[in-house]
Amino acid sequence: MVGIKHIVSNRGGNTQQTFPALKFLELKNMENLEGWCVQEGREANLSLFPYLIWMSIKGCHKLTTMPPEILPRLEDLKMYEMDGIKHIVNNRRGHAPQSFPALKKLWLEKLTNLEAWCMDEGIEANPYLFPCLIWMNIKGCPMLTTTMPPIPTLQELHMENSFCETQISSMSKERRFFKHLESLHSLKIYSCAEELVLLLQDEEETRAMKSSLQHLSIRNCKQLSLALVLQNLKSLRDLRVNSIENLVSGPDEMQGYDSLNHLMIISCKNYTGASSQGDCGPPFLKHLDVFDCDALRALPMCPKSLQMLVIHSCPGMESLGPEMGHLTSLCNLQVSNCPKLVSLPDGMQALTSFKSLRIIGCPALKSFPEGLQQLLPTLKALIIKGCPELERLCKPGGDYYNLLSSISYKQIGGQPEEAIRYPHVIITDAKQALKCVTTKHFLLSVVLVCAIASFINFLFNEFDSQNEQDIWFVPPT
């Protein structure tokens, strides 16, 4: 569609509804597309897509405007690789009271020249710009320097590699990013301006979402104080921090955060885990993940509410701690790629809920403590890989071999990098195989018979009716 410059040509008529039944529209790599209607100014008076609810535009670099007047029912808008777009809304011809009256989801990606939401900057403060928006993703929009418009309905906001040139200090305090997002419950900020992330430390800035925000994920910020963030956002249930340079220890104030259930710490190179007061962290924490933290030597004391503990690629880790007998709720422990880990804690016989153990790529770990040996017959799942001495003890003739006979799912030995196969992955692979042999009827029959037999066997034997995806966790990359 290289020759298309306009979607509609109305030179010879006065058509009021050009696409009266269209609901889904995708425009992709239309290099010469310049506008919606060949008559300039007419598109403001047309209802080109009166019933359009979903629209995706990608690689239309000459398209410079998105006139919202022609999209009265649009609910989902995706825009990718649109170099010509500098403003989402063009308000030169007038000030629409509701610019996107029905829009619920907005995805902006690689709009490298996007500068602001509206051509008329004053309109951005209008609460009717996105009156129904609940989900927004902004990725690869580094030139976007304006503040967020007031969106009281917004529930999820994801920002990545955007607002990179934003000067927060030059903005009015009444029109900053988070001050009017009272419904927000999920916020992700990845590799954006440092000043933007540091707004989370401002009590006044975060007041609106103090009771609503439950999920927070932050990546690449040197100066962030986790203690101040937690102090301002006490409703958080899920906190994930990645590449926060000044995170050295768990904040002492964490002891008072009753709502935090899941804490994930990734690539915080100075994180040691120690707390100056030696507390147990959030009292109701259920899930703790620590990945790629070079300075971590041993875990801090964990709260007794912990149900799942995952440690991955911590090269300095030597011990999980002196003892963990108080973790009576712990049911899943996973440790991988920790080459210096030499021992597991004592007191593990008291872990009455413990059901799943996964240890991969820990060659210095030579044996299990006595308490864990007592628990081995009660486990439902066990994986040991890349741990030569442990593998020897768990194989026939080894000291632990007889203790493993009752475990319904176990893998001993194999390459540490070997991927764990999930049932849904196996099924996907089977579908691909069947697609390849549909033209060979005999082979297709054989494959179908084998697939049915394998599936029946899987239903009766895998995991003792337990969901494997809940047991095993693949660390993010």
In a domain, 298, yes or no: yes
Mean pLDDT for the stretch of residues 347-370: 96
Q: Are residues 433 and 413 in the same domain?
A: no
In a domain, 324, yes or no: yes
The pLDDT score that the predictor gives to residue 46 is 57
* Least confident stretch, 24-33, 66-75, 198-207: 66-75
Last residue of a domain, one of 398, 418, 438: 418
In a domain, 394, yes or no: yes
Question: What is the count of structural domains for the chain?
Answer: 2
Q: Which residue matches tokens 């696409």? A: 19
| Residue 327: strand, helix, or coil | coil
The pLDDT score that the predictor gives to residue 425 is 33
d(CA 333, CA 451): 33
Amino acid residing at 158: H
Residues 6+ apart with CB under 8 A from 417: none
Give yes or no for a contact between 313 and 338, defined as CB atoms under 8 angstroms apart.
yes
Print the domain residue range for 457. Answer: 429-469
Q: Are residues 385 and 449 in the same domain?
A: no
Q: Are residues 453 and 388 in the same domain?
A: no
As a whole number of Å, the end-to-end CA separation of the chain is: 38
Say which residue, 436 or 100, is predicted with more confidence: 100
d(CA 182, CA 155): 9
Q: Are residues 399 and 456 in the same domain?
A: no
Question: Is pLDDT of 358 > 90?
Answer: yes
In a domain, 56, yes or no: no
Q: Are residues 405 and 459 in the same domain?
A: no
Give the DSSP letter string of 419-449: PPPPHHHHHHHHHHHHHHTTT-HHHHHHHHH
Give yes or no for a contact between 217 and 188, defined as CB atoms under 8 angstroms apart.
yes
Neighbouring CB atoms inside 10 A of 183's CB total 15
The pLDDT score that the predictor gives to residue 88 is 86
| Model confidence pLDDT, tens digit, residues 331-350 | 999 999 999 999 999 899 99
Q: Are residues 306 and 345 in the same domain?
A: yes
Q: Are residues 355 and 459 in the same domain?
A: no
In a domain, 85, yes or no: no
Which is nearest to 404 in space by CA: 412, 461, 470? 412
The pLDDT score that the predictor gives to residue 35 is 82
Mean pLDDT for the stretch of residues 310-338: 93
- Rounded (5°) CA angle 374-356-387: 80
Q: Are residues 386 and 446 in the same domain?
A: no
d(CA 250, CA 240): 13
In a domain, 99, yes or no: no
What residues form DSSP beta bridges with 244? 221
Q: Are residues 255 and 395 in the same domain?
A: yes
Question: Is pLDDT of 153 > 90?
Answer: yes
Amino acid residing at 168: I
Q: Are residues 262 and 317 in the same domain?
A: yes
In a domain, 87, yes or no: no
In a domain, 309, yes or no: yes
Give yes or no for a contact between 43 and 69, defined as CB atoms under 8 angstroms apart.
yes
Q: Are residues 287 and 343 in the same domain?
A: yes
Q: Are residues 255 and 404 in the same domain?
A: yes
Proportion of the chain above pLDDT 90, given as a percent: 48
**CATH (domain of 379):** 3.80.10.10
**What is the DSSP code (8-state) at residue 346?**
B
